[in-house]
Structures are given as structure tokens and as C-alpha cells.
Amino acid sequence: MEFAIDIRDMTVAYRDKPVLWDVDLQVAPGVLIAIVGPNGAGKTTLIKASLGLIKPAAGSVLIHGKPYAQQRKSVAYVPQRGSVDWDFPTDVLDVVTMGLYGKLGWFKRPGKEERVDALKALSQVGMEEFANRQISQLSGGQQQRVFLARALVQNADVYFMDEPFQGVDATTERAIVDLLQNLRKQGKTVAVVHHDLQTVSEYFDEVMLLNVRRIASGPVGSEFTEENLRTTYGGRVAFVSALSAKQTS
Amino acid sequence: MEFISQIFSDYTLRTVALGAMLLGLTAGSLGGFALLRRQSLLGDAISHAALPGIAIAFILTGSKAPLVLLIGAAIAGWIGAALISSVTTRTRIKYDSALGIMLSVFFGFGLVLLTFIQRNPDANQAGLNSFLFGQAAALVERDVLVILGIGALVLFLMNLFWKEFKLLSFDPDFTGTLGFPVPMLDRLLTTLFVVAIVIGLQTVGVVLMSTMIVAPAAAARQWTDKLGVMIVLSGIFGAVSGVSGAMVSSWIPGLPTGPMIVLIVSGIVFFSLLLAPNRGLLFRRLREWKAGKELRIEAVLVDLYTLASQHPSAEYPHSERVLDVMSTMTGPAKKTLRVLNDLGLARPIDSPIGR
Amino acid sequence: MKPTLSVLLGLLLLAGCQSGSNKSERGPVSSDAPIRVVATTSMIADLVRVIGQPYVSVEGLMGPNVDPHLYKASEGDVRLMSAADVVIYSGLHLEGKMVDIFEQMESRNLEVHALAASFAPSDLLESSYFAGNHDPHFWFDVSLWGKAASTVAAILATFDPLHATQYAENLNRYEALLQTTDAEIRTLVNQIPQEMRVLVTSHDAFGYFGRAYGVEVKGLQGLSTATEAGTADVQELAAFVAERKIPAIFIESSISPRGIEAVREAVRAKGFDVQIGGTLYGDALGSPGSNADTYVGMVLANAQTLVSGLASDSNLGQ
């Protein structure tokens, strides 16, 4: 079976300190996988290194059997909300349209067709009335939805998302979950860096526990265990038993 | 009014105004992108980093031809910008520290080279050290043509790569995932900065060029939330400052042109920070004050209602002081009560109970 | 860390003390042990060499084509001056960025002398910008330079009374040369038609020349090159040149030519074809080997340039 995401031997060192060490991750198509771990575990680094934004010391990434560099058009990235200055002078529609710049290529400006595609993506996240709103006037949840729309508009097969549930309101959280379910139904693969251990088993099919090294990965049922969590978080997680009890119930 | 027509009829005023306008337009427009990428002071750093380039160009070629010195300045400025970038990515040093370090190191090195040149008895180096400080009033037509040509090229490229630069300025990581070569785009934008600054260096000097990268863009940001409008407005502010500076300097003898331009553009910034609608300081204060007023009206009205609901009749009077105590906001209720009275929502009653 | 730091500081203090100690070792003056003189401008260096030979060894801080208004002394310069027997500078803020250094040295009772002290207030031109300040470019009046030469002879004689006669001899010879030079300049200037005796140049350096030889003088920048000319200044000067139909304007060796070139373009735009008459030596001598590497050579070269620019036949009748 061809993996949708096949990361091997990913190693990233920052000034002689290992941030990621020999990490493998294989994800089958149509799977929603959560990547969890404590702060500084290398979760964002894993995504950035896989997408070529950071130069790894070692490692390879195959998307649907081909190297990532050849598959850019099939991969969409949703970075952390905080990675961008939301005071930038632009509106919602413009940000979503940016997702189409790859398709447009050099120099070509977005036109009517792109506008239609962008509005469609906005309606998928319930933000089409906000198309002309300045992004500085958006709430956290609205910002997250705009970022998601920007990824959706790319019509990718594989999605990498970095903490999309961080700091959003309940409505947005439900909307994002619905979106993920939809993507899965369409056979897309989504890897999500997730901060909330309480919701891992509810929202995701698989989980990867990461703390510089891969501690475990696989179906939530078998891998999201008390023992694995303890190893990953080094005893820093309360309610570990409650969490693992939750998913067995 | 005859003075205004002088702009077209008098060679000096026409040339200086045109040159300053074009420089302001180019640097102002590009400055918009610098501002959004938080690289506004890069202009200052590049201006100062250019000095050793000028000295070395002179040492190597013995020529003071503007083109030779310009190329030297551009190369040195470019290297300085590149070093700032790599120091920031490879070490713990933050961007503003790296900027400060490069600026000082390069400029210091340039001064050492100039002193060395001065000692050489055969050197015909007159005016080399004033290269960086410029003399805007000494612009001639040939200079203006060079500025026009290069400025047009810079603006053309900025327009050509418009969406790429916008993307790069907003979200560089995302830009990379779309397949755009981020380092190359970054270097291209930096090169445009370097070129725009260097053409202005020998005509108007370091201080003016670094001002033109920072100030018009900062002012323009205050007036709009659309990127396109901001860049155009920034260019306009730069151009207007250039022309006005030339005109004022022409009107009053003994006023140097470059510094006048700086004063005018600074005035524009100050005015924009204070008075721009939406983002301007004055308008923000006004909005806050209005919002506060509305809040107080509502609060006092609610308090009055609460008091009245504890008695059988709404006519039951209460002393003002009670309202003062009830309200959790600072300030007496007197003024607000007057407003409510005007609105017909509350009525003062003379009562033996006391006011 | 601490002991190394104190050792370092100790060494620095010691190094600081060194520079003052050389002078007390001064022995009798001879041509093998000459008076060590440090002069600021190349003109002064030339003057001291002429008056003091063969008993002086002169080090000039500023080479040819160096602008004394903007010259910043380096650490090496300061050490040189501290170690010298005598330091001679021009004064009246010509060496604008070294004023503090001179004040400091004077307070330390070093042998520091300003040539400007040779002059009575009536000799000097007052600055039109700042009352109480004077135009420092006195050397363009050859007779004033003669007074400065006497001052140099007096300084050297005081320091080295043994050879006072030699210095007096050198002075007499030089004064004779200056007199001939002064006359030559007058002859040259008189070749210029009266109405064209106007010297337009980069900064107000030639006030004394103008007063001494009857030439009207106009500079683009003020007395010091540290100022920046404004658009109005360029316009005024261009209007002046075009109106008076002055055939030539001049650039200076130690200043960027851009200002005067801009004036030229403006004048041409008004329909009058003004030429750049040549390069004048303003605040420094010319390069060694050129015809202007001595004071006398320099003032003569200037006068000749002036004449060829303003009085040449091709320019007459324009």
C-alpha cells in the first residue's frame, strides 16, 4: 500500500542540540492523524522540515510515493495563527486567494476564476460574508478559518496543520472537526499538530506521540495509552489514567 | 504664483524638484514593503554599509566617476544586507542588533579606508567623504535621467513581482510551500532596496535616503488598510516631500535642500500619526471618549431604573449622590444626568430630601 | 578574569603615560637633530620648512587636496602632535574638527601655536554669517602670509635661540620672494578686464584674495564646507553669473565639483555658456611634483588659472 505521507529518518539539530531524532512517520491515505507531545518536542519542526522550510540534518519525505519537492501541488500547509502579523493591510478574500498563487505561477495576477474558487473555499468554512473584511478585525476563530480556507482552495490531497484548534471558540472548533471529517470522506489525508490531549481520541483516527524521538504512532485505540503518554510527557501529565480510560470506554 | 511657475522655467528648481520627486517616489514605494517586513531600518544600514564600497571602488579604479562609485556602493550595501540576513538566521542575534552591528562595522571600516585614502598624497579624492552626505541642490539633468531610468526599472520590477512580494511579506513559510524560491525572492527585494538607496546616496546622502525608506511608508500605513493604496500613497508622500523640500529650499536662501525634505516628510508622518482617521491618535482618543460617554449614559440609566423599581412609583426621587455611589465608574453622575434630561429620559425634582 | 583585567588596565595607563615623556629628552638642535614640527595644513608645512631649514623636520597632518574644515585627527595624529617639539596650526576654526584637541594641548602647556595670532583684528575679515567669527583663509593675501612667516621665525627662534640668525636669513629671503609673488599676482589680475574680475567658486575661501587684489568673490557654500548649499543658493549664484556674463567659474581641489557643475548647468540653461575655468587650490597645496606643491607655486598657479579662465581672448566680447 502506498503511504500518503512517508517520512523517514527525519533528524533536525539546532546548534548541536537534537530537536528531532531519527523520526519515522507513515500515514495511509484517508487518515486523520494527531501529532502530540510536550512543548519543544519538535512537532512544528517536524512539519517544517518535511515541507522544506527547515533544512534537516537527515531525512526524506515521500508524498504518495514521490518526493515532496515534486508533489507540492498535492500538499497544503496551515501554519500556526501566530506566525503571521494579522495587522497586515489585506482582507479575507485576498488571503484565501494567496492559496492559489502556486497554481497561477510567476507574475500572473489572480482573476475572476480565482475569485470564484476563493469564495467557494470561504463558504466551506462559513466565512463568505467576511470576504471583504480586514483581517485585523477578525477574531481568533475567524482567523483560523481563513487559514483553513486558504489551504482548502489548493485542492490538495495531503494537509499539514499546526495547532488549528489552539485558542478558537467552540463553534469554530466544531466547524474544524466537521471540515476534517469531510476531508477524510473525500479520501484526503490530514496530519495535525494537536495541543489538546482530551480530544485526541474523539477527533482523530491515529496519533503520533513525539518527543524528539518517535515514541509511538498508529491507531488511537492501540497507541494512545497511559504508558506511551507517560513516556512522551515524562510524568508531566495529570489525568493520564483518565485520558487512557476515556478512550477505552 | 509666479514662484510656482518657476518650477518649470528655472533649471535648478526644476531639476532638483524632479530628482527629489523621483527619489521620493521610488524609495517611498519600496519602503512600504520594508515596513511590512519590519525592515524599515534596513535602509539606514544599507546607506551606511555603502561607504567602504565607495572607498574601495575609488582605491581600485582611482576614478570618481559616479557610475564607478555607485557600483561600489551597491555591492557593499548588498553584502551588508546579506550579512545581516545570515547573521540573523544563523546566530542568536536578533534582527535589530544585527542591523546595528553591520551598520557600525561597515561604516567604521569605510571611515578607516577614507582616512587611509586621505594620507595618500597622489590621491585626487576631493569630495569622496561628502559622497554619503549628498548635496541635493547640486542635482543636474544627467543625474535626474539616471534616477528616472533606474527608478522606473525598480518600480517596474516591484509591480511585476507584486503578488510574490505581497505573499513573501505576509507569510514567508507559506510562500515556500507553494513552491516559490523564498531566498531568491528575498534577495531580489533586498537588491531593489539597495539599488533605490544607492542612486540617491550621492545626490541626497545617507540620512535622506534612509528617511525616505522609513517615513513615507509609516505615514501611508495610517491612512489605509489596502496594500495597493498604501504603496501608492507612500510613493506619493515621498514624491510630495521631495518637491516641497526643493521648493522651500529655493524660496529661502541658506536652507539646505536634503534636510528640508526630511523635515517635510517628518511633518507628514507626525500629522498622519495624529490625525489619520481610524488609526490616528486623535481619532482613537475621540472614539474612546465617545464610547466612554455612551457607556456612562447606559450605566446611569440602568442605575436609575434599578432604584425606581424598588419603589411603587417611577417618580420617586433619589439624590444624585446615591447615583454617584452606585456607579462603578469614576466621575460624578451630574453631567450624565443632564444628558439624560435632554434626551427626555430623566427629570430632576426639587426635593426637601436634598440634592 | 579579574587579575587579567587589572593587568590590562595597568598596561593601558602605562601606554598613556609614555606619549608625554619624549619631550624632556630633547637635546641641542642641529641638522642631525632637527626640531620636530607638526603642521596641520600643507601650506603651513611648506612655510615651516622654508623658514626653518635645515634645522627642522616637518610632518604635515593633511596631505594635498585634503579639506581642513572636515579633517578629523586620528589617534596617530594626536600621538604625533604630543611627541613633537612644536605644533603649528592655522586657527580661526579652519581645522574645525580639531579645536578641542588644540585646546587640550594648550592646557597641557605643550608648544602649540596658531598662525592666526599673527594678525590684528583689522587684518582679518569678519564672517558675514556669525559676528565675532572670522574668515580663516588668510593665506590668500600674500602680505598676510608674510606676517605669518615672521611668526614662524619668531617661534623657531624662541625654541632654538642658537640658530636664530639662520631663521632670520631664511625669513628675509622668503619675504623678498613673497613681495615678487605679490607683484606678479597683481600683474596677472590686471590682465582681466575690470568687469570680469569676479571669482565664483565652491566655498567662501577667497575673501582675502578678493580684498587684496581687487577681485569680487562669490562662493556657493559658506566659509566652511561643513554646510550644505540650498537650492536657492545655487539659483542665486547662477542668476548672478548669467546676469554679469562671467565667462568662467571655478572648482576647488579639495571639494567635490558637483556644486559648481550644477551652477554651470543652470547658467547654461539661462542661455549663457559659462565654462569651468579650472581647478583652484583652495584649502590645500597640490600634489608633490605638480606646480602647486609649494605655497608660492600654489598662489601663482591660482592666479594663472584665474586669468586664463576670465581673460582669455575667446571669452572676450561674450
The string of DSSP letters for C162-217 reads: GGHHHHHHHHHHHHHHHHHHHHHHHHHHHTS-GGG-EEEEEES--HHHHHHHT-EE
Which chain B residues are within 8 Å of A98, Cβ to Cβ? Answer: 166-167, 170-171, 174
Beta-strand ranges (E) seen in C103-166 are 112-114
Placement of cell 551597491 in the chain: B74
> How far is CA A84 from its chain centroid?
16
Cβ-proximal residues to C234 (8 Å cutoff; 6+ apart), any chain: B12, B16, B137, B138, C220, C259, C262, C263, C266
Residue linked to cell 632637527: C34
Query: B262 or C6: whose pLDDT is higher?
Result: B262
SS3 A210: strand
Q: How far is CA A26 from the centre of its chain?
A: 15
Average model confidence (pLDDT) for chain C?
A: 86
Of the candidates A52, A84, A89, the beta carbon closest to that of B226 is on A89
The string of pLDDT tens digits covering residues C167-181 is 999 999 999 999 999
Choose the closest CB to B174 out of A77, A89, A109: A77
**Chain A: residue nearest B161 by CA?**
A107
- Interface with chain B: mutation pick from C70, C204, C218, C231, highest number of B CBs within 10 Å: C231
Interchain contact, B118 vs C62, CB within 8 Å: yes
Is C290 in contact with C65 (CB distance < 8 Å)?
no
Q: Please tell me whether the peptide bond between C54 and the residue prior to it is cis, using omega within 30 degrees of 0.
A: yes
B155: cell is 518600480
Q: Which of B166, B167, B173 to mutate to test the interface with A (most CBs of A within 10 A)?
A: B173
Q: Which residues of B touch A109 (CB under 8 A)?
A: 162-163
For every one of its 355 residues, what pLDDT tens digit does chain B have, with 9 covering 90 and above? 566 777 778 899 999 999 999 999 999 999 999 999 988 888 889 988 998 998 999 889 887 777 888 899 999 999 999 999 889 888 888 988 999 999 999 999 998 888 888 777 666 666 676 666 778 888 889 889 989 999 999 999 999 999 999 999 999 999 999 999 999 999 999 999 999 888 888 777 877 888 899 999 999 999 999 999 999 999 999 999 999 999 998 888 878 888 899 999 999 999 999 999 888 888 888 988 888 888 888 888 888 888 888 888 777 777 777 777 776 665 677 778 888 888 888 778 775 554 4
Q: Measured between alpha carbons, how far is A208 from A232 in angstroms, rounded to an integer?
A: 10
Q: In which residue are the cell numbers 499546526 written?
A: A162
Q: Over the stretch A117-137, which tens digit does the pLDDT of each residue have? A: 999 999 999 999 999 999 999
Q: Do B177 and A77 touch (CB under 8 A)?
A: yes
pLDDT of B126? 67
Q: What's the CA gap between B74 and B84, in Å, rounded?
A: 15
All residues of chain B having their beta carbon less than 8 Å from the beta carbon of residue A72 are 177-179
Q: Which long-range contacts (CB under 8 A, 24 or more apart) does A45-50 make?
A: A45/A12, A45/A19, A45/A20, A46/A7, A46/A10, A46/A20, A46/A210, A47/A77, A47/A160, A47/A162, A47/A191, A47/A193, A48/B173, A49/A10, A49/A12, A49/A20, A50/A5, A50/A7, A50/A10, A50/A160
Q: Which of B110, B99, B77, B111 is nearest to B199 (CA)?
A: B77
Residue C278: exposed, middle, or buried by beta-carbon count in 10 A (0-12, 13-18, 19+)?
middle
What the block records as the C-alpha cell of B84 is 545581516
- Find residue A6's DSSP bridge partners: A26, A62
Question: Can you say whether the dihedral through the CA atoms of C186, C191, C196, C200 is positive or negative?
Answer: negative
Q: How many CB pairs under 8 A join A and B?
A: 71
Whether B12 sits inside 8 A of C266 (CB atoms) is yes
Contact status, residue B76 vs residue B54, Cβ threshold 8 Å = yes
Residue C313 predicted with pLDDT over 60: no
Pairwise CA distance, residues A26 & A208, whole Å: 10
> Which residue, among B91, B160, B167, B177, would best test binding to A if mutated, counting the most A CBs under 10 Å from its CB?
B177
E strand map for chain B: none
CB of B242 closer than 8 Å to CB of B56: no
B240: Cβ contacts below 8 Å, ≥ 6 apart = B21, B24, B264, B268
pLDDT at res. C253: 84
Do the Cβ atoms of C228 and B10 come within 8 Å?
no
The per-residue pLDDT for C19 is 46
> Cell numbers of C209, please?
584674495
* Cα torsion through A91, A92, A97, A98, rounded to 10: 70
> Do C and A count as touching (3 or more CB pairs closer than 8 A)?
no
Cα B42 to Cα B96: distance, rounded to the nearest angstrom: 9
Task: For residues B204 and B199, give the distance between their C-alpha atoms in angstroms, rounded to a whole number.
Answer: 9
Query: Is B256–C288 a contact, with Cβ atoms under 8 angstroms apart?
Result: no
Sequence-separated contacts (24+) of C119-123 with Cβ below 8 Å: C119/C144, C119/C147, C123/C147
| Model confidence, pTM | 0.83
Q: What is the nearest CA distance from B121 to chain A, expressed in angstroms?
A: 50
Residue B226 sits at φ, ψ, to 5 deg, of -110, 130
Task: With beta carbons less than 8 A apart as the criterion, state whether A45 and A12 touch.
Answer: yes
- Compare C20 and A86 and report the one with higher pLDDT: A86
pLDDT at position C317, please?
Answer: 43
Q: What sign results for the dihedral spanned by CA atoms A87, A88, A91, A94?
A: negative
DSSP C97: G
Distance CA C38, CA C61 (A): 7
Closest to B170 measured CA to CA, from A152, C251, A99, C281: A99
Chain B hits for A83, Cβ within 8 Å = 171, 173
Position B228 scores a pLDDT of: 95
Under DSSP, is residue B200 helix (H, G, I), strand (E, B) or coil?
Answer: helix
Alpha-carbon distance values, C85 to B240, C27, C43, C79, C165 (Å): 58, 11, 19, 12, 20
Specify which residues C201 forms β-bridges with.
C219
Q: Based on the number of CB atoms within 10 Å of its own CB, is B22 exposed (0-12), middle (13-18) or buried (19 or more)?
A: buried
Residues written for chain C: 318
Touching chains, A (3+ CB pairs < 8 A):
B
What is the ipTM for the molecules in this complex? Answer: 0.90
Strands (DSSP E) along chain C, which ranges? 35-39, 56-60, 86-89, 112-114, 198-203, 216-221, 248-252, 275-280
Q: How far apart are CA B77 and CA C23, in angstroms?
A: 46
CA distance C248 to C317: 13
Please list every residue in chain A whose beta carbon sits closer than 8 Å to the beta carbon of residue B227.
Answer: 88-90
Query: B169–A88: do the CB atoms touch at under 8 Å?
Result: yes
Alpha-carbon gap, residue C23 to A184, rounded angstroms: 91
pLDDT at A247: 53
Distance CA C65, CA B290 (A): 66
E strand map for A131-219: 158-162, 189-193, 206-211, 213-219
pLDDT tens string C243-255: 999 999 999 888 8
pLDDT of residue B322: 79
How far is C188 from C301, CA to CA, in rounded Å?
11
Residues of chain B in contact with residue C258, where contact means CB-CB under 8 angstroms, are: 127, 135, 138, 140
CA distance A124 to A135: 18
Beta strands A158-162 and A75-78 are parallel
Long-range contacts of A241-248 (CB under 8 A, 24+ apart): A243/A197, A243/A198, A246/A198, A246/A201, A247/A200, A247/A201, A247/A220, A247/A221, A248/A221
Contact B25, B220 (CB under 8 A): no
CA distance linking residue C79 with residue A107, whole number of Å: 61
Closest chain B residue by Cα to residue C226 = B130
The tens digit of pLDDT for each residue in C274-309 reads: 999 999 998 888 888 888 889 999 999 999 999 998
Q: Do B256 and C230 touch (CB under 8 A)?
A: yes
Check residues C22 and C161 and name the one with the higher pLDDT.
C161
**B162–A136 CB contact, under 8 Å:** no
| Residues in chain A within 8 Å Cβ distance of B174 | 77, 79, 98, 150
**What are the backbone angles phi and psi of residue C84, rounded to the nearest 5°?**
-75, 165
Segment 219-278 of chain B within 8 Å of chain A by CB: 221, 224-227, 230
**Using one digit for the tens of pLDDT, what is the confidence trace for C256-279?**
888 899 999 999 999 999 999 999
Cα→Cα distances A51→A31, A72, B160, B175, Å? 19, 9, 27, 11
Find the helix or strand (DSSP H, E) in which A10 lies. Answer: strand A5-14
- The minimum CA-CA distance between B144 and chain A, rounded to whole Å, is 30
Give pLDDT, residue C13.
62
- In sequence order, what are the beta bridge partners of A207? A34, A218
